[in-house]
Amino acid sequence: MSAREDILNRIGAALRDAPAVPDIPRNYRRVSAMTAEQRLEQLVDRLVDYKASVFVVPAAEAAGKLAELLAGTASVVVPHGLPQEWLSALPPAGTDDAGSPAVAVDSPQRRLTVAELDAVDAVVTAAAVAVSETGTIMLDGSPSQGRRIISLVPDRHVCVLRAADIVEVLPEAVARLEATAPQTWISGPSATSDIELERVEGVHGPRTLDVLILQ
Amino acid sequence: MSGTFLGMPALPAYGHGNLNATEPFPKAAHRELGNAQLRANLGHATHTIRDKRLKVVAELPDWEDMRDSGSAIKNATMAQLPALLEQFEANFTARGGTIHWARDAQEANEIVTSLVRATGETEVVKVKSMATQEIGLNEYLEDQGIAAFETDLAELIVQLDHDKPSHILVPAIHKNRSQIREIFLREMEDVDPALTDEPARLAEAARRHLRKKFLTAKVAVSGANFGLADTGTLTVVESEGNGRMCLTLPDTLITVMGIEKLLPSWSDLEVFMQLLPRSSTGERMNPYTSLWTGVTPGDGPQNVHLVLLDNGRTAALADEMGRTALNCIRCSACMNVCPVYERTGGHAYGSTYPGPIGAILSPLMTGIKSEKNNSLPYASSLCGACFDACPVKINIPEILVHLRGEDVDSRRATIKVPTQMDLMMKGAEWAFSDGAHLGLLEKGLPLGRLAAGRDKVIKKLPGLAGKWTRSRDLPAPPGQSFRQWWARDHKAPDGVVPGTGTTNGTGTGSPTESEGGQA
Amino acid sequence: MKIALFATCIVDAMYPRTARATVAILERLGHEVVFPPGQACCGQMHVNSGYFKEALPVVANHVRAFDTDDYDVAVAPSGSCVASVKHQHELVARRCGDAALEARAAVVGAKTYELSQLLTDVLGVTDAARQLGSHFPHKVTYHPSCHGMRLLKLGDRQLKLLASVAGIELVELPEADQCCGFGGTFSLKNADVSGAMLEDKAANICGTGAELCTGGDASCLMHIGGGLSRQGSKVGTLHFAEILASTLDNPVPVAGDVQLAGGRR
Ligand code: SF4
């Protein structure tokens, strides 16, 4: 008998008493009771608590703010689907403008290697959805967010989030996400509490998380 | 509740590996209690995390609703486990993943080894995983010439120190910062000799130490927190990013997951990803959660495997009174609130699974008769703190008592000479199964008073009861029992005046008169 | 109301004053107290030690003694014994395959109350000083026993009753919700761990500067008192029923050579 059959048989025998399948109560909150304004405020509060830096600007100022945030950064990687206009305030690649980064685009045609990514200072991605109650930003691998590796290896992650994509509670986000997409849920920069349960930000994942929220 | 069933596979099929106490718990506890540094470290850590948990749990108005949902979802999972496993398998496989089934630790270790061999590699990076700890995978791989590098900070500390984890979430909870610094200085080749014991500096040292490993690793081994049957999705919950590194960078990913880790549907994650982080690290959400379903072309490992592990889980499932132990999501809240764990630490339990959940899960998986696991269900005062804290409402005290019953019954069947405890229980059965018997015995109370002597305190008792008087006195018994007083002296009052404090002057209104010697 | 007292074995044999205090309180409120003579023990020591077979006759005896229409409600001055009657008795009967006993145990369990539950929820006592004449001019700290707190969810019932006693000075016990380490045979089987828990509990109690520690379970108080006494502490332990029963005219003595439950004075 294969291990598979064997185990399934064992389970069948273990459940010989045919335990009832209970009804699942779902009395927890599944939709937000907050206004958009409150959600934004809550998300900012949570992210700051996680030691992320948060910037809230009108959507029209996205490019300017990004250019400001990236000033002094030598190199940046972006996924190929990142909205072009967000980078429009950066000087075009190749210009030898001191203080503006070299921008590498990761795409299905040109995937950056691990070594290349390790040499990059920052990554800019969009986000799929964010949960204000828990301060969580979800990336789902779509073209504006890119492969999981690009938001992992660079030491700084600049994540651009549309305020309209902020929900309050986790069930709202789970309903929006495609389960089978490769996902990373991010709540602050990498951290550990392994030493005396004291939280330390910055271990293996990006040690700096900047969140730019567009209103 | 266990037994053999005609026409069915031989049940129960018990688990093997690191699931055993190797010495009786009281003996191990005695040793660990003597370690003042350990007690100080544990006391500090458990109190810190308790406070954090209470704070974030209190934040949610619907925490109890969530616990109810979580508990019901897990019960539903167990009740439909075969169908859900098959559903998960179909979905995971459809998206390019490969599923392997392992009856026990040995089989799982062999599968992982052959998968690593097939890649031609001799090194793997590892994400913290209880399942691989349980099956002793690292040691097995080492024997096969494959080096496994733990990448979680606490696991790294434990591995570098050639020690064993003592907590399921914070495996190095028994070490303080200066001990960790010493370990790093001693064991990390590339370490900066000026390393301080600041947690941030220690974390930095770990980052440097592992960075190159991550960037060049070809094979990773992980566990999984949840498997979602209706989509075939796996989940790893972590903090440091070492999980993301292992789950994203290598070409090959091998995950080992217990068969009980399934949830029926994707949307169930909305419950468990609220319950788990708040219960475990006391955070609103853990820094990173990774989710993957088979293979995503161009993104992450392209050679993706999952080993579904039994190793005694079906034995636990076969125990109707104990099966809810499988609902455990390994948050560690129960051990963090446990007054016994707080004082003995995790090593005293022997098994990979320490604390209250370990005290039930280990003997359920191995059988109560395996090695010293029959001492584990007694490692609790039954205070119930674990049940209160458990996000999936596992009634741990009730299962502890059930397993004590299994132990007593199994010893009854094999051991012919009764223990002191057996005799005490037999005697108490006689005394307590009839009011007249107890009344008869109470006639002997004055003898106890005599034994107590002039200062009315008993300081030393013989035999088993001597364990009591090791650190406690016993007061002298009263001159007469309540039963005797009731029969002789109590008269129902006729003129009761509420609130006056006295009644009809017979003295029955107050317990303090005619003490009959209690004073 | 006709109230059946379940004294519990430990109070009956070791702390009769607690049962007498319970009787006094109830009679003061104008109720009739009866003592079903067949009673002995709830059986939790057997159950909690895994001796289900031995527990069965003990449980059966309790059900026999209390399964009558001769009273309205039953009360015991112990959270732990009431939790056993309410939650364990059915379980024991079921495990031993006695369906009839299981059904009768459920009936008895439903009629049984812990003392503070009965006083607060059924008898409407909110002000012990006014309704019971309770007077106790001492500095007291309070340990909520685990089973009352977690299995019966007594909440602050005992504490509120105590707070309404005239003259009492209640001081908060740090880490009050931590188990004292008794746990029945746990204190024998795992004597070292139990002792370590007791040590911390005793230190917390002594740190409050209270004259005595009260609570709702004689067994825990015996454990705590035994530890305090062994350490040579002057702090004693006393069941809250005795504090409620204490009056200006008839005070519970806590000074002189009175031996409290453990603890020396
Ligand atoms: S038993 Fe409950 S509290 Fe303990 S680790 Fe498992 S889920 Fe967490």
3-state secondary structure of B479: coil
Per the document, the length of chain C is 265
How far is residue B167's CA from residue A194's CA, in Å, rounded to a whole number?
11
**Which residues line ligand 1 at a C-beta cut-off of 6 Å?**
B 279, 328-334, 357, 389-392, 394
For the segment B39-93, what is each residue's pLDDT rounded down to a tens digit? 888 999 999 999 999 999 999 999 999 999 999 999 999 999 999 999 999 999 9
Is pLDDT at B20 greater than 80 in this prediction? yes
Per the document, the length of chain B is 519
Characterize the bridge pairing of strands B219-222 and B123-126: parallel
Q: What angle do CA B261, B266, B272 make, to 5 degrees?
A: 55
For every residue of chain C, DSSP letters joined together read -EEEE---HHHHHT-HHHHHHHHHHHHHTT-EEE--TT-----HHHHHTT-HHHHHHHHHHHHHHH-SSS-SEEEES-HHHHHIIIIIHHHHHHHTT-HHHHHHHHHHHHHEEEHHHIIIIIS----HHHHH-BB--SEEEE---HIIIIIS--TTHHHHHHHTSBT-EEEPPTTTTS--S-TTTHHHHTHHHHHHHHHHHHHHHHHTT-SEEEES-HHHHHHHHHHHHHTT-S-EEEEHHHHHH-BSSSPPP-STT---SSS--
How far is residue A165's CA from residue A13's CA, in Å, rounded to a whole number?
47
Q: B249, exposed or middle or buried, with CB in 10 Å at 0-12, 13-18, 19+?
A: buried
Mean pLDDT score of chain B: 91
Is pLDDT at B514 greater than 70 in this prediction? no
Return the closest-CA partner of residue A196 out of B80, C188, B333, B200: B200
Query: What band does B37 get if pLDDT is binned at 50, 70 and 90?
Result: confident
For the segment B424-465, what is each residue's pLDDT rounded down to a tens digit? 999 999 999 999 999 999 999 988 888 888 788 888 888 888
**How close B290 gets to chain A, by Cα (Å)?**
5
Interfacial B residues in 421-440 facing C (CB < 8 Å): 421, 425-426, 428-429, 431-438
**Cα C175 vs. chain centroid, distance in angstroms?**
20
Q: Which of B340, B429, B519 sits opposite C259 (nearest CB)?
A: B519
CATH homologous superfamily of B25-150+218-316 equals NagB/RpiA/CoA transferase-like (3.40.50.10420)
Return the closest-CA partner of residue B248 out of B203, B294, B306, B290: B290
Do C and B make contact via 3 or more CB pairs under 8 A? The reply is yes
Contact list, B510 vs chain C (CB under 8 Å)? 24, 245-247, 250
Cis omega (within 30 of 0) on the bond before B12? yes
How far is residue A56's CA from residue A77's CA, in Å, rounded to a whole number?
22
| Better pLDDT: B40 or B496 | B40
How far is residue B465's CA from residue B474's CA, in Å, rounded to a whole number?
10
The whole-number pLDDT of residue B8 equals: 55
Q: First and final CA of chain A: distance in angstroms? A: 61
Distance A45 CA to ligand 1 centre (A): 30
Q: Which atom of ligand 1 is nearest to the CA of B332?
A: 5
**How close C88 gets to chain B, by Cα (Å)?**
9
Touching A: which chains, 3+ CB pairs < 8 A?
Answer: B
Kindly state whether C179 is in contact with chain B, defined as any CB-CB distance less than 8 angstroms: yes
Q: Which of B401, B441, B508 sits opposite C50 (nearest CB)?
A: B401
Characterize the bridge pairing of strands A200-201 and A191-192: antiparallel
Long-range contacts (CB closer than 8 Å, 24 or more residues apart) made by B137-143: B137/B108, B137/B109, B137/B112, B137/B221, B137/B256, B140/B109, B140/B112, B140/B113, B141/B109, B141/B112, B141/B113, B141/B116
- Are A16 and B281 in contact (CB < 8 Å)? no
The whole-number pLDDT of residue B57 equals: 97
Residue range B221-250: mean pLDDT, rounded: 97
For the segment C141-187, what is each residue's pLDDT rounded down to a tens digit? 999 999 999 999 999 999 999 999 999 999 999 999 999 999 999 99
For the segment B386-398, what is each residue's pLDDT rounded down to a tens digit? 999 999 999 999 9
How far is residue B132's CA from residue B221's CA, in Å, rounded to a whole number?
9
For the segment C37-62, what is each residue's pLDDT rounded down to a tens digit? 999 999 999 999 999 999 999 999 99
Kindly state whether B184 is in contact with chain A, defined as any CB-CB distance less than 8 angstroms: no
Q: What tokens appear for A215 in the block?
A: 């209103």
The whole-number pLDDT of residue C259 equals: 43
How far is residue B340's CA from residue C145's CA, in Å, rounded to a whole number?
16
B22 - beta bridge partners?
none
The whole-number pLDDT of residue B496 equals: 37
Query: What band does B12 get if pLDDT is binned at 50, 70 and 90?
Result: confident
- Are B512 and C134 in contact (CB < 8 Å)? no
How far is residue A83's CA from residue B320's CA, in Å, rounded to a whole number?
56
Q: What tokens appear for B240 in the block?
A: 């440091």
Using a pLDDT cut of 90, give the percent of chain B over it: 79
The whole-number pLDDT of residue B506 equals: 30
Q: What tokens appear for B491 in the block?
A: 């008269």
The whole-number pLDDT of residue C196 equals: 96
Considering A93-97, B212-216, C20-24, the range whose residues carry the highest mean pLDDT is C20-24
The whole-number pLDDT of residue B453 equals: 81
Ligand 1: which residue has its CA nearest to atom 7? B328
Distance B229 CA to ligand 1 centre (A): 22
Lowest mean pLDDT among A19-28, B119-128, B408-417: B408-417
The whole-number pLDDT of residue C262 equals: 41
How far is residue B355's CA from residue B335's CA, in Å, rounded to a whole number?
5
3-state secondary structure of B296: strand
Q: How many helices (H) and strands (E) does chain A have?
A: 5, 12
Do residues C90 and C109 make contact, with C-beta atoms less than 8 angstroms apart? yes
Do residues C187 and C181 make contact, with C-beta atoms less than 8 angstroms apart? yes
Mutate to test the pocket of ligand 1, among B336, B390, B395, B398 (most ligand atoms within 8 A of CB): B390
| Better pLDDT: B183 or C263 | B183
Residue range C209-226: mean pLDDT, rounded: 96
How far is residue C176's CA from residue A161's CA, in Å, rounded to a whole number?
46
Using a pLDDT cut of 70, give the percent of chain B over it: 92
Q: Order of strands across the sheet with A53-57?
A: A53-57, A208-214, A156-162, A122-126, A75-79, A102-106
**How close B407 gets to chain C, by Cα (Å)?**
7
Residue range C215-232: mean pLDDT, rounded: 95
For the segment B394-425, what is each residue's pLDDT rounded down to a tens digit? 999 999 999 999 999 999 888 888 899 999 99
Architecture in CATH for domain A33-214: 3-Layer(aba) Sandwich (3.40)
Question: Looking at this protein, which amino acid is placed at residue A103?
Answer: V
For the segment A66-79, what is each residue's pLDDT rounded down to a tens digit? 999 999 899 999 99
How far is residue B365's CA from residue B96's CA, in Å, rounded to a whole number?
32
Question: Looking at this protein, which amino acid is placed at residue B234?
Answer: L
- Are A180 and B231 in contact (CB < 8 Å)? yes
How far is residue C86's CA from residue B408's CA, in Å, rounded to a whole number?
24
Do C and A make contact via 3 or more CB pairs under 8 A? The reply is no
Do residues C151 and C187 make contact, with C-beta atoms less than 8 angstroms apart? no
Q: Which helix (H) or strand (E) holds B177?
A: helix B177-187
The whole-number pLDDT of residue A92 equals: 60
Query: What band does A84 get if pLDDT is binned at 50, 70 and 90?
Result: very high
The whole-number pLDDT of residue B497 equals: 33
How far is residue A51's CA from residue A74's CA, in Å, rounded to a whole number?
23
Is pLDDT at C264 greater than 80 in this prediction? no
Q: Which atom of ligand 1 is nearest to the CA of B168?
A: 5
CA-CA distances (angstroms) from residue C137 to B259, B519, C206, C210, C255?
61, 19, 19, 12, 12
Q: Where are the domains of chain B?
A: 25-150+218-316, 421-513
Sign of CA dihedral C34, C38, C39, C40: positive
Query: What band does C258 get if pLDDT is binned at 50, 70 and 90?
Result: very low
How far is residue B315's CA from residue C40's CA, in Å, rounded to a whole number?
38
Contact list, A4 vs chain B (CB under 8 Å)? 101
Instruction: Please report where in the chains the tokens 């003579």 appear, as a residue.
Output: C37
A209 - beta bridge partners?
A157
Is pLDDT at A26 greater than 50 in this prediction? yes
Ligand 1: which residue has its CA nearest to atom 6? B328
The whole-number pLDDT of residue B451 equals: 81
Number of alpha carbons in the 13 Å side-chain half-sphere of residue C98? 19
The whole-number pLDDT of residue B455 equals: 80
Is pLDDT at C211 greater than 60 in this prediction? yes
Residue range B103-131: mean pLDDT, rounded: 97
How far is residue B92's CA from residue C70's CA, in Å, rounded to a whole number?
65
List the single best residue of C9, C12, C149, C243 to mutate versus B (max B Cβ within 10 A): C12
Q: Which helix (H) or strand (E) holds A153?
A: none
The whole-number pLDDT of residue C246 equals: 97
Number of alpha carbons in the 13 Å side-chain half-sphere of residue B178? 3
Residue range C71-80: mean pLDDT, rounded: 97
| Better pLDDT: A116 or A101 | A116
- B113 Cβ contact list (under 8 Å, min separation 6): B140, B141, B144, B146
Going along chain C from its start, the domains and CATH numbers come out as 2-122 (no CATH), 128-263 (3.40.50.11810)
Q: Where are the domains of chain A?
A: 33-214
| Better pLDDT: B240 or B493 | B240
Q: Which helix (H) or strand (E) holds B26?
A: helix B25-33
The whole-number pLDDT of residue B5 equals: 44
How far is residue B172's CA from residue B157's CA, in Å, rounded to a whole number?
7
Contact list, B483 vs chain C (CB under 8 Å)? 7, 12, 35, 37
